[in-house]
Structure 1
Amino acid sequence: MLTRRLGLLASAAIAFGPWSALAEQRKVSAARGRKAKDPAVTGSPADTPLGPVDTTARWAYGIDFDTGAVLLNKQGDDEMPPSSMTKLITIYIVYDRLKQGRLKLDDELPVSEKAWRMQGSKMFVQIGTQVKVEDLIRGVIVQSGNDAALVLAEAIGGSEEGFVELMNKKAQELGLTHSHFVNCTGWPDANQTMSARDICVLASRIIRDFPEYYHYDSEKTFKYNGIEQGNRNPMVQKGTADGLKTGHTEAGGYGVVVSSKRNGRRVILCLNGMSTMHERAEESERLMDWLFFNFEDVTLYSAGDVIERVPVWLGSERTVPMVAGKDLIVTMPRNWRQKAAVKIAYASPVKAPIAKGDQIGTLTVTGEGVPNMEVPLLAAEDITRLGLPGRAMAVIQRYVTGT
């Protein structure tokens, strides 16, 4: 097995950006943090590749959207009360039906007495009326309407109970391993749980799977039935994020999942278990700023770049080009990149025949403060096996010359 190491500083594929004084200031501020009201929270900071960072949130999880790198984690796999962040999977199912053509934005859905009587945050739909799907989507996302979510659930699932079955099935399909649903709204129930990681995964899938509908998340206000309400997401209101959802219950405290895109890079952050709306707004803004200032995405190789030409044994060609097959992007701390390294490993020579797309090597990224990453490297061409005479000549040549 041949192994080759590449220091990142020597790689021409990496473009280095400046380390600003503001970034350093933000890093120091985040590292100091603020004292939480709960001593147990203060004693349990979030883990990051740069070391512990204090947060008043009881649960926290942050990821880079493009690379999936985990940038911040505090009890990210704990089952917690998700409150209205539950509505993300309700909306995912709605978007899925729209994409399949089984539902249309201008379809009108009936309002049941159960939906009309639903308490908590409301869109204020009226019993016996018909409401357009597009209005209901805005009612769920902008106004966090429990009544709007229930109208959609009853129309799609036949009943809320039927829709909940769809929610749990979809959760399994999406790999939400710490989620269980008993209602479509996030109404308090001890048996309704999600993890901060699951919420970030779900938020990522909404953005990735349904870009044609994600624009609803950035709407700051929506008026229905003569009542105008503002988006409850504080970062959307400030224009520092383009989605996704807030939530609050007595058991779960104040929570939020936000997605922000800056200079072409997107980060998703979920926080839960805070004590006030003000704390939620301040903490989400502070930690999102810190994640953007302290990390960046670096392109190691583009999809078509030949990383290495690997020797081939008994093939129609003496070498085969090895590529990553897709743009290879990693998320790294800005001031720790010089400690990162790329290692390429492959068997040499590779025996023919070789099919284009076969894995013939592995690239790993390691380093202090750098999220570990392992990527398969692929053959870029088909290489056929030599016929018997050709194989015989190759064996003789290798015996005589050693090559």
Structure 2
Amino acid sequence: MTREGAGMPRKPVRGGMLWALVFCLCGVVSLAETGERKPRRQAAAEPPPIESVLLMEAETGAILYAKDIHKQRAPASMVKMMVMLIVMEKVRAGELHLSDIITASAHASKMGGSQIYLREGETFTLEELMKAIAIGSANDACVAVAEHISGTVEGFLDLMNERAKALNLRDSHFATVHGLPPSNGGPGDLTSAHDMALLARELIKYPEILLWGSIKEDSLRDGKFVLTNTNKLVYHFSGVDGIKTGFHRDAGFNVTATAQRDGWRLIAVVMGAPSSTVRFDEAKRLLAMGFNGFRKVVLARKDAPVGPEIVVSGSTIRKIRAVAQDDLSVVVKKGMEKQLVLDVQVPATLPAPAHRGQEIGEVRVKQHEQTLAKTAAIVPEEIPKVGLMWRLFGRVSR
């Protein structure tokens, strides 16, 4: 006898009625669970709220996927990409050397956020500080480098904004060298996914950037300070070798990532993700979509012959074939490669003289009569004009 029924007589219950009651209750429970689970599946399928994303093929600049790519957002530490670009351009120009010694100022030693905890008067090579920026996103290293190059952070900011203008980064304005939010209520850094992709295209021209960007872990101060790469994609996506993450509360979670597979390179930008996990998952999704769903097709190589033979008049050289001024490649969805046509427009004859590199026509890649890419058709060599004696003796092909 149960406690609820103690002291009270129990009426007999037939077995059939008892089983019917059990089945009814199970059916109600089952329907209730089904009704709850369905909206849960719908909620799980909704994409995470991300402000802007972009996927670009690095060589051609072809945009393969885009969402609000010109929306201005705070880049946070992705600002450091411009710092790294200016440094590497000056290194290539011979104005700086990676072996240069940089001394930390009092100002550099007082930076907050991610840092290597520079002490005033402490010295590092430029290469060591660049690793600290590229791998560990060190704010104090950015300040030390900026002061070394321009004397003041303000002077270096002028360089950053001048370079942004030269690169046609129309959505960008840099207010800091590190990406921290303004502490005095003033204007902060602004950029867009589009501008970050363009900046990345410039930055990947420097092998050192990709080398540092691919390092998972390094160290400074004779191994006493460990640098851990903030870009976790280097651990989880094959081919990733850069470039920069960024985060603060107002910016959300950002990343500009690049990866190379099978001889071609993609750039993915994610801005304003709600978490670090979402940021990296979206970047992986974009890169995987690009490598799995598209194909880069090279239809002409720089200095390779294109088009029919051209008859040359007035020279000892009788015939030439034009060559492509640049590589000519396009990115298309897989399965569409056979739709591409190489259209070469050059003259049937060419009078001498003509000079190496002289434009004489155009090479186009077409798909259903739409031009996808083009480059110039140029003269491959010097073509001298002969004198009257050659003409009189018929030694020139007419």
TM more than 0.5: yes
Matches within 5 A, 1:154-173: 154-173=147-166
Q: Paired residue for 1:237?
A: 235
| 1:289 aligned onto 2:274 | no
Structure 2, unpaired ranges of 5+: 1-43
Question: Counterparts of 2:122 and 2:387 in 1: how far apart (Å)?
Answer: 76
Q: Paired residue for 2:213?
A: 217
What letter corresponds to residue 229 of structure 2 in structure 1? Answer: N
Instruction: Return the offset for 1:358.
Output: 1.4
| Identical pairs, percent | 29
Instruction: Return the offset for 1:388.
Output: 6.8
Q: Paired residue for 2:328?
A: 328
TM-score w.r.t. structure 1 length?
0.76
| 1:195 aligned onto 2:188 | no
1:87 alignment partner, SS class: helix
What letter corresponds to residue 203 of structure 1 in structure 2? Answer: A
| 1:138 aligned onto 2:131 | yes
Q: In the TM superposition, what whole-angstrom CA distance separates every residue of 1:154-205 from its partner, at most 9, and x where no partner exists? A: 1211111011111122223334333221211112254422232222222222
2:190 alignment partner, SS class: coil
What letter corresponds to residue 165 of structure 2 in structure 1? Answer: Q
Q: State the number of aligned residues.
A: 345
Q: Paired residue for 1:305?
A: 304
What letter corresponds to residue 138 of structure 1 in structure 2? Answer: K
Higher mean alpha-carbon deviation, 265-274 vs 193-202, is at 193-202
Question: Counterparts of 1:273 and 1:393 in 2: how far apart (Å)?
Answer: 76
Question: Counterparts of 1:295 and 1:321 in 2: how far apart (Å)?
Answer: 32
Q: Paired residue for 2:107?
A: 114
Q: In the TM superposition, what whole-angstrom CA distance separates every residue of 1:62-100 from its partner, at most 9, and x where no partner exists? A: 222233322223233333222111101111222233334
Instruction: Return the offset for 1:310.
Output: 4.7
Structure 1, unpaired ranges of 5+: 1-32, 39-56, 399-403
Indicate which of 75, 78, 88 corresponds to 2:71. Answer: 78
Distance 1:245 1:314, change over 3 A: same
Distance 1:369 1:267, change over 3 A: farther
Question: Counterparts of 2:358 and 2:283 in 1: how far apart (Å)?
Answer: 43
2:364 alignment partner, SS class: strand
1:109 alignment partner, SS class: strand
Q: Please provide the CA RMSD for this pair.
A: 3.0
Question: Counterparts of 1:107 and 1:366 in 2: how far apart (Å)?
Answer: 50
Question: Counterparts of 2:359 and 2:172 in 1: how far apart (Å)?
Answer: 34
Distance 1:58 1:297, change over 3 A: same
Question: Counterparts of 2:253 and 2:327 in 1: how far apart (Å)?
Answer: 38
Q: Paired residue for 1:261?
A: 260
1:103 alignment partner, SS class: coil
Check the 8 A contact 2:209/2:242 in 1, yes or no: no
Check the 8 A contact 1:310/1:350 in 2, yes or no: no
Instruction: Return the offset for 1:325.
Output: 3.5
What letter corresponds to residue 268 of structure 1 in structure 2? Answer: I
